[in-house]
Amino acid sequence: MVINMERYSIIKNKFPREIVLLKSTPCKWGRCTFCDYIHDNSLDTYKINSINSEILKQVTGQYGVLEVINSGNVFELPQETLHSIKETIDKLNIKKLFLESHWIYRQKLNIMRDFFSVDIIYKTGLETFDTDFRENILNKGFNYKSIDELKSYFQSVCLMVGICGQTKEMIKKDIELALNNFNHFTVNVYTENSTIIKPDNQLIKWFQEEYKWLDKEPKCEVLWVNTDFGVG
């Protein structure tokens, strides 16, 4: 089990907002080869709801924007937690939500739009536009047929760089495609964890030097380390 995690933070730079890392039931996909984040999941819904209730009490509504993440997808949050989020939104007059969802939930995205009745920016952990690497190495389960189809569901993609087997050319193409197709995207520099997927430190060093300018790119948020948003 993941312990001593920071679960509330404020993002003050690009896209100012508050962010909460909530506990949830297990990720329905749960097969990404690089992810050990799912150890934060639980089957104890009473405990999940109790923890999440305390986290949400820290939200102030100061920006009118809230990002809700968990070790999976928003659809795996228990119903009581979803109601707590809605109560927080209504009480604090929050106008926009950032939520995360896997491709498998693409047909259900409007359920949350109807439930929360605010503007929702859906982020998805695509990791890379390179189909072979994404599906055969990372096992992401994204079977979209075109970027236009992907864009029809999600307003933001999360990319990952610095994994063994990735190339500079793949990363260059990923950044270019994200810049040209999305108004918001996140780049995560891979951090070694307990999985078999390992970082390529030389590739990470190259990326840090070559793409430092992304810090000034309005569309992009870079997590140079995986806790740069202040949670995790």
- The predicted-structure confidence for 67-114, as pLDDT tens digits, reads as follows 999 988 999 999 999 999 999 999 999 999 999 999 999 999 999 999
Judge contact between 19 and 8, C-beta under 8 A. Answer: yes
User: What H or E segment, with its residue span, contains residue 177?
Assistant: helix 168-181
Strand ranges inside 101-219, DSSP E = 119-127, 156-161, 184-189
Per the DSSP assignment, residues forming a β-bridge with 99 are 68, 122
Per the DSSP assignment, residues forming a β-bridge with 187 are 159, 222
Q: What are phi and psi of 86, to 5 degrees?
A: -60, -40
- The predicted-structure confidence for 11-68, as pLDDT tens digits, reads as follows 998 999 999 999 999 999 999 999 987 678 899 999 999 999 999 999 999 999 999 9
The CA–CA distances, whole Å, from 21 to 2, 56, 130, 146, 197 equal 12, 10, 28, 31, 24
One-character DSSP codes across 14-65: SS-EEEEEE--SPPSS---TT--GGGG--S-HHHHHHHHHHHHTT---SSSE
Domain spans of the chain, in order of start = 8-223
Nearest CA among 74, 82, 119 for reference residue 99: 74
pLDDT grade, residue 226 (50/70/90)? confident
Statement: the pTM of the whole predicted model exceeds 0.85: yes
pLDDT grade, residue 3 (50/70/90)? low
Q: Is 178 left (phi over 0), alpha (psi -120 to 50) or beta?
A: alpha
Span 8-223: which CATH code?
Answer: 3.20.20.70
- The predicted-structure confidence for 140-175, as pLDDT tens digits, reads as follows 999 999 999 999 999 999 999 999 999 999 999 999
